Amino acid sequence: MKAIIFGITGQDGSHLADLLLEKNYEVVGVCRRSSTNNTGRIKHILDDEKLKLIQGDITDAHSINNILKEHDDVDEIYNLAAQSHVAVSFKQPGLTWDITGKGCLNILQSIVDREMLDVRFYQASSSEMFGKSYDIDREQNKYQDEDTKFLPQSPYAIAKCAAHYITRLYREGYGLHASSGILFNHEGPRRGETFVTRKITKWIGDFVKSGRSNRSKDFPKLRLGNLEAFRDWGYAGDYVEAMWMMLQKDKPEDYVICTGNTHTIREFLDVAFSHIKIKDWSKYVVQDPEFYRPAEVDYLRGRNQKAQNKLHWEPKHSFEDLVKMMVDHDTR
């Protein structure tokens, strides 16, 4: 089997590459041109003879077409490439659209143009597409699943919605085996340091390594935005398995991938600081208006019954497992 991963150097791409190589796939990883080395997350697999890295630009249809021309024997294509930082999308909405929205279209159109209609395609959709939308269950709890309407609250979420609908259109219009995974927040030690979860655990790691007993008074505060936002957090390594499972099914469909539990950023802080024996983190944390979004998403909690029933997928790590894993990594 042979797969192309767009976005292999990101958190999800690196975990997916690990999984596919373990399954003896030939993996072609597409990396954007960069003046700096951006292969840190995949350095442990760079010597694997089954992995080939190539340069490509998802915003350039000609570049995508050339990649598929060279690798027209590919079985699976995973589009994990994105400008995925919500806050950045407000500052760079055009760039976010070109990468996150139009980039998906470029891949799908190249598949059709090259008549590679047997290839299986995965699109990384996002729970951010739901925005302020939710449904209510019998116990009056809020949730989002495959039938919940989208109400995006950021340029990133709007671009993801466009890519999601484009994927569905090409599935129905051209008969492509194209599936989207609507992934809720998924984290881990490979998460970028500007994302709130990793920002917290990286700060804790720096704090511990500085010798907190002697220098805590002078150590810079951890500056965060809204601490009351609810998120359904899981481990990225678990979620990439669901991506692969979707492409093994005979029928392409869209799936919500989540834990089914939700926690506030305040709760994340509780678990993270407790893991280094600090009960009261309030003197170390400052809420800074700079880190509030222009339009906030208040509550995300997925329902993954479809993934459980059809993919036989469930998350393997709890919220507490995830937080402690990240703290342990950053305090080593």
Question: By three-state DSSP, how is residue 22 classified?
Answer: helix
Check which CATH number belongs to the domain holding 112 and give it: 3.40.50.720
Catalytic entry in 126, 127, 154, 179: 126
pTM check: above 0.85: yes
CA 161, CA 291: separation in Å to the nearest integer? 24
156 catalytic? Reply is yes
Question: By three-state DSSP, how is residue 29 classified?
Answer: strand
114 located within any domain: yes
254 located within any domain: yes
- Cα-to-chain-centroid distance, residue 208: 28
128 catalytic? Reply is yes
DSSP states of 99-125 = IIIIHHHHHHHHHHHTT-TT-EEEEEE
- Cα-to-chain-centroid distance, residue 4: 17
Q: Give the closest residue to 191 by CA, choosing from 292, 330, 287, 315.
A: 330
121 located within any domain: yes
202 located within any domain: no
269 located within any domain: no
Count the Cβ atoms, other than its own, within 10 Å of residue 40: 11
Output the six-digit token pair for 26. 């030939």
Sequence letter at residue 120: R
126 catalytic? Reply is yes
Catalytic entry in 26, 128, 154, 235: 128
CA 178, CA 124: separation in Å to the nearest integer? 11
Tens-digit pLDDT string for the chain (332 aa): 999 999 999 999 999 999 999 999 999 999 987 645 689 999 999 999 999 999 999 999 999 999 999 999 999 999 999 998 898 999 999 999 999 999 999 999 999 999 999 999 999 999 999 999 999 999 999 999 999 999 999 999 999 999 999 999 999 999 999 999 999 999 999 999 999 999 999 999 999 998 865 555 678 999 999 999 999 999 999 999 999 999 999 999 999 999 999 999 999 999 999 999 999 999 999 999 888 888 889 999 999 999 999 999 999 999 999 999 999 999 99
Query: Helix 196-210 crosses helix 265-274 at what angle (to 10 degrees)?
Result: 30
For 161, the domain range is 2-189+236-259+301-316
Catalytic entry in 78, 134, 143, 156: 156
94 located within any domain: yes
206 located within any domain: no
CA 70, CA 68: separation in Å to the nearest integer? 5
Domain count along the chain: 1
